[in-house]
Copies of this chain bind each other. A is one copy, B any other.
Amino acid sequence: MKIAVLPGDGIGTEIVAEALRVLQALDLTFETETALVGGAAYEAHGHPLPESTLKLAKDADAVLFGAVGDWKYDKLERSLRPEQAILGLRKNLGLFANFRPAICYEQLVDASSLKPELIAGLDILIIRELTGDIYFGQPRGRRTAVDGHFPGADEAFDTMRYSRPEVERIAHVAFQAARKRSKRVTSVDKANVLETFQFWKDIVTEVGKEYPDVELDHMYVDNAAMQLVKAPKKFDVVVTGNMFGDILSDEAAMLTGSIGMLPSASLNSSNQGLYEPSHGSAPDIAGKGVANPLATILSAAMMLRFSLNQPEAADRIESAVKHVLAQGLRTADIWSAGTTKVGTREMGDAVVAAI
């Protein structure tokens, strides 16, 4: 088993270090190799995703990713900015299926903006298509408008698109995931306005016929954004496109109030995957040893389950995390009165000890 380790920028190095220590505590045999990515790679090699980093990721069974980005790269041209690394990895590794669980841990209910009764016990899984849609559609760019409200004016444009096999494969992923859960899928679209999402809706409906045991419903994206606020627990598996998934998965994550706890997985069709926390690089607290490593540690658990075929080891990590929460240990982002504030390293130590 080979793991490419890409810590990235900001708090990336600190949190990935703890995830690696947890993995090492499990007595598994695996190889790791570390490389630069994002702003760190740009500084060293002039590109956020150097060829060597991409090759390492491609050759590995899984990528353990920290986070990328920093305000200081805002003025760079787009193709050199840190976040291009993550888009490049998704595209080049074909990581089309993004799993974004939004889970509210019992002990962290009060961290949520929502009233406790609405959020306690939340456990939804957002499955976001990750290599299609308006993220990668061509053509895109600038041109002179030929029609619309101001013909002759400068305009910028992008292309939203989905092909049938792209929608089919992500629909299968969602239905299969739902079978292991409460057997309900909500497909989110904007079929009332977009050709792309009428197509999406039709195909998800078709694929759904192969899963008669799974209940399927459809919701417009604006309504989904509302229902997540109103009654998040009514959702089980949500499947949607790249753009809507970007927005809804972040909204759902923030509902929990503890985004520092939320892992993610991005898989291709051979179950090779990239694993990263749902939160960002938090340059403001980088290097201070206060970042929460748990989302990354839980991402490592997803890696063991999805890409490395070690479900028991994954369970052990997840139980250890629950254990440290029950012990009352909290990093600053999830700390509340009556619990014990710890740093990144101490939190890693505690998880290792619990394993």
> Using a CB–CB distance below 8 Å, which chain A residues touch chain B?
78, 81, 83, 87, 94, 96, 113-115, 118, 131-132, 134-138, 140-142, 145, 147-150, 153-166, 190, 192-196, 198-200, 221-223, 225-230, 243-244, 246-251, 253-255, 257, 259
* Contact partners of A118 in chain B: CB under 8 A: 113
Q: Tell me if B134 and A149 are in contact (CB < 8 A).
A: no
Q: CA of A164 to CA of B156 in the docked complex: distance in angstroms?
A: 8
Q: CA of A223 to CA of B140 in the docked complex: distance in angstroms?
A: 23
Q: How many copies does the complex hold?
A: 2
**Of B156, B196, B222, B249, which is within 8 A of A250 by CB?**
B222
Q: CA of A157 to CA of B190 in the docked complex: distance in angstroms?
A: 13
Known contacts A159-B157, A229-B251, A254-B229; A195/B140 CB under 8 A: yes
Minimum distance in angstroms from A266 CB to a CB of chain B: 15
* Contact partners of A165 in chain B: CB under 8 A: 149-150, 153
Give the most central of A78, A193, A243: most B CB within 10 Å.
A193
Q: Tell me if A78 and B153 are in contact (CB < 8 A).
A: no
Q: Tell me if A153 and B157 are in contact (CB < 8 A).
A: no
**Of B83, B196, B225, which is within 8 A of A225 by CB?**
B225
Please, which residue of chain B has its CB at the minimum distance from the CB of A259?
B226
